[in-house]
């Protein structure tokens, strides 16, 4: 059974750092395109970062501050959040794209989702 489970969310001060993790079960984390997405209250879904075998993609809003990576030994996806801003406050979700090619930032391209973890950035 394929499952994704996020952890690592919480409260962080602006300018600090936080690392989100997504534990993968049912397949190897490097097999498929995976990504991090977020949704802030009252706002639309936003693709944050994706990782494929041939590289990574970032939203302009997080480029240079966030880093997506995969740990094959622990079968885990990470999102390192450096110098977060208040506008990064949101529920963060990891997702896998098991069908189709490419690794886009669009949420509707992903078929498997975790339950989410909340991140609150304070000033």
Query: What is the token pair recorded at 103?
Result: 């690794």
Cα separation, 39 vs 87, whole angstroms: 11
User: Residue 92 to residues 9, 40, 88, 114, 116: CA-CA distances in angstroms?
Assistant: 8, 9, 10, 9, 5
Cα separation, 60 vs 87, whole angstroms: 13
To 10 degrees, the CA torsion angle through 6, 40, 109, 70? Answer: -30
- Could you read off the pLDDT tens digit of each residue along the chain, which spans 123 residues? 899 999 999 999 999 999 999 999 999 999 999 999 999 999 999 999 999 999 999 999 999 999 999 999 999 999 999 999 999 999 999 999 999 899 999 999 999 999 999 999 999
């Amino acid at each position: 059974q394929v499952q994704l489970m996020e952890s690592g969310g919480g409260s962080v001060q602006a300018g600090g750092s936080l690392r989100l993790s997504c534990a993968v079960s049912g397949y190897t984390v490097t097999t498929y395109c995976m990504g991090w997405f977020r949704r802030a209250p009252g706002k639309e879904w936003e693709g944050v970062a994706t990782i494929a075998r041939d590289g990574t993609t970032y939203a302009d809003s997080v480029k240079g501050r966030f880093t997506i990576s995969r740990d094959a030994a622990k079968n885990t996806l990470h999102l390192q959040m450096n110098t977060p801003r208040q506008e990064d406050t949101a529920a963060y979700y990891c997702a896998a794209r098991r069908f189709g090619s490419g690794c886009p930032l669009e949420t509707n391209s992903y078929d498997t989702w975790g339950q989410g973890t909340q991140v609150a950035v304070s000033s």
